[in-house]
Amino acid sequence: MDRGRYLSIPHPGWGEVTITQHRAIARALSEHDAKAAVAAMRDHLDTSLQNTLSIVEAC
């Protein structure tokens, strides 16, 4: 994960998206909203996968 985060640094906007997604996950958990937490986590993991694949393709 650290390597992926390091490689994503040069991509404008990716960090902000990650922070927004983490906030959505935390908010859903703090509100005990399991459905929203699952949806937010799924969105975050999908974004992370797509970002990782685009980094790998660029190498």
Tokens found for residue 1: 């994960």
- φ and ψ at residue 24, rounded to 5 degrees: -65, -40
pLDDT, tens digit, for every residue of 5-35? 667 777 788 889 999 999 999 999 999 999 9
Asked if residue 4 has pLDDT above 80, the reply is no
Name the amino acid, one letter, at 49: L
What integer is the mean pLDDT of 35-43?
98
The answer to whether 15 touches 24, Cβ cutoff 8 Å, is no
Q: Taking Cα atoms as reference points, which of 24, 23, 46, 19 lies closest to residue 35?
A: 24
